[in-house]
Structure 1
């Protein structure tokens, strides 16, 4: 598809970033139909214009980027591809982005070449993550999500408390169950996460993956 036939809307509340991105995309030959400063306007614009691509900031007034995508996903027969553009590299933000079904995730430090690579990829039906992420970042996040998905609601609650530094006695007091019950859950969690049962690897894993656990 020719660049001029790829219609784009931008939603970014920072005027310098918004206008800069607008100019870069127009100079590259894309058709930018709207450049908006809040999430509510983005939802209306996407619904009315049905652009090929929406490039969204995460943190915006009225509705954030993830909320915009959730609203738009309810629009019947909408074919718009959603690209998040943010300063945030944390796993928790990437996990939220995956949950709402983004097509691309760019960082605001990325060049116009990287943005164009992302646009080309999502137009071809691929999921694209900025090269600014570590090469195995997405794979690591996906693997950990698959492991956590095996946990029961009770086990997820317990491991979240462990990630906050709580021991079995403290977890039991909070959940009003015996330390023995908590220990049984810990054993099951260690098995599901494929951790070494001979060492205190569960506490270490929980602290290292706290962002993932808090986002579930």
Structure 2
């Protein structure tokens, strides 16, 4: 029975939290609600729900940070991320964590029911938008990154962290000229324009991917 499924819900928008909780209570057992990530983590740790539904962006701890901490504690709770974000960096971050579901806030409640049903059967359930963005935006960039040499990957990590060419040269004990040669090779492999800001912009857009290399 669905009423046997225990759920914790966390969202920092009170009206959305209230509306979602009331809808869920018609079918499941909601054992706790939270308006920030710290309370969500406390409730999940204490109550050990079957499923936790988390907004990504919350005060004190983000949904992703809550999931990571629960994963470190080896909790058995399964996680559904509920968000308005369709950007590739959020999609990629979700892929790297122990997340069973990823839904958009503008989707009908039936999608939430389908997701919870899938999780109760030890399956995963992701919004069709999630898969579309991953296939069209994330996967192609990952393939490009794999073309880079270890030295080039180190350099784009440093660029993503805000280092200038001179700072990279000092860090890696190489000449600025060598850094510039690496940057030129990186631009070529990533199929980017040779404009001054092209690589900086690309690293900002793909920071989540780069920093996990």
1:47-196 matched pairs, under 5 angstroms: 47-76=45-74, 78-131=75-128, 133=129, 136-140=132-136, 141-145=138-142, 147-148=144-145, 151=148, 154-156=151-153, 158-159=155-156, 172-176=165-169, 177-184=175-182, 186-187=184-185, 190-191=188-189, 195=191
For the aligned residue pairs, the C-alpha RMSD in angstroms reads 3.4
SS at match of 2:72: coil
Task: Indicate conservation of the 8 Å contact 1:160/1:210, yes or no.
Answer: no
Cα distance in 1, alignment partners of residues 15 and 119 from structure 2? 26
Q: 1:187 deviation in Å?
A: 3.0
Task: Indicate conservation of the 8 Å contact 1:104/1:118, yes or no.
Answer: yes
Q: Does structure 1 residue 213 correspond to structure 2 residue 207?
A: yes
Task: Indicate conservation of the 8 Å contact 2:187/2:194, yes or no.
Answer: no
Q: 1:33 deviation in Å?
A: 0.9
SS at match of 1:73: helix
SS at match of 1:101: coil
* Structure 1 unaligned blocks of 5 or more: 164-169
Cα distance in 2, alignment partners of residues 36 and 61 from structure 1? 11
Q: 1:125 deviation in Å?
A: 3.2
Q: 1:180 deviation in Å?
A: 4.3
Q: Call closer, same or farther: CA 1:102–1:205 in 2, change over 3 Å.
A: farther
* Structure 2 unaligned blocks of 5 or more: 170-174
Cα distance in 1, alignment partners of residues 48 and 119 from structure 2? 16
Query: How many aligned residue pairs are there?
Result: 204
**Equivalent in the alignment of 2:36:** 38
Task: Indicate conservation of the 8 Å contact 2:24/2:30, yes or no.
Answer: yes
TM-score by length of 1: 0.76
